[in-house]
Structure 1
C-alpha cells in the first residue's frame, strides 16, 4: 500500500486501488477534523462485528466480494437485511445497530467513511482480533467529536 494518513491536510489517492490492495482488517487512510476514511478487508465468513455508533453516520462501499448488510434499532431486531456486492454502498444512520458479513468465497474489500472521525489516525489492525483487543484506538484530540453515549458492541 502506498497511502499514509497525513491528518487533516489535503490528500488525494486512488481509493479503489488502495481498497483492493489492502489486506488488513482495518487501515485508517485519512483522518479529517470531521470525518475519516478507512479501508477494510473482511475474510471469508468474517464480519465487521455487530455494533452501534450513537453519534456517527457511516458510509461503506464494497469494491470486491459479496456481503450481507444488517441493521436495526436493537441488536436483536435487525430489520434491514440486504445482500451487497461489488459497487454497492451501505448507509448506516447514527444509532443503528449494524453488521456486514462476508458471505462470498473471497475476501470482501470495502472502504468506510465515518462522520465524525472514529479511529486513531493512521491506525492499522491486521485482524479483527487485533481491533477488538486494541485499547489505544481513539479519535485524535484535534477532531471534532459530538457529546454522546459511547459506542456499543454485541
Structure 2
C-alpha cells in the first residue's frame, strides 16, 4: 500500500508562496511542498489531541511556526528527558537544534496548523501523509 502520496514539490526551482494560506488550507498531516539541497518546507495539520510524534533529526536543524491552534512543545537531549516544555500558539516560532528529541502535541480544540523548515531536507521530496498513521507506516520515515 502506498502511504506516501506525491505532491508536486516545487523544490530546486524559484518559488514564491503565501505560506500562511498554504498552511491554513492544508488538511493533510504532512505535505512536503519544497525540497532543495539544504532546505525543505512542509505544512502540517495536527488533529485535536494528536501530535507530531517524538522524533529526532540527526544533523538537521528545524524551524516550526504555528499559524493556528494551541499546543505543547517538548524537547530534550534524550527520549526520556524532555526537560524543555512550553505552550505554543498562533504566531509562535519553535527552533529545534539538530540531534534534539522533540514533539509538539495539539492541546487546543481546533487542528494545530503549522509549517516547518528543515535545514537540510528530512522527507522524500513531494511526500504527503494524509494522516499521522500514514507517516508511521511510510518506510521512508525514521
What TM-score do you get using the length of structure 2 for normalisation? 0.92
* Segments of 4+ moved more than 6 angstroms: none
Residues 42-121 of structure 1: pairs in structure 2 closer than 5 A: 42-121=46-125
Aligned residue among 15, 28, 37 for 2:19 = 15
Partner of 2:134: 130
Where 2:99 maps in the other structure, the secondary structure is coil
Q: Is the 8 A contact 2:11 2:33 kept in 1?
A: no
Gaps of 5+ in 2: 1-6
Q: Deviation digits for residues 95-140 of structure 1, max 9, x if unmatched?
A: 1100000000000000000010111111110001001101145xxx
Partner of 1:34: 38
**1:6 CA drift (Å):** 2.1
Where 1:99 maps in the other structure, the secondary structure is strand
Gaps of 5+ in 1: 138-150
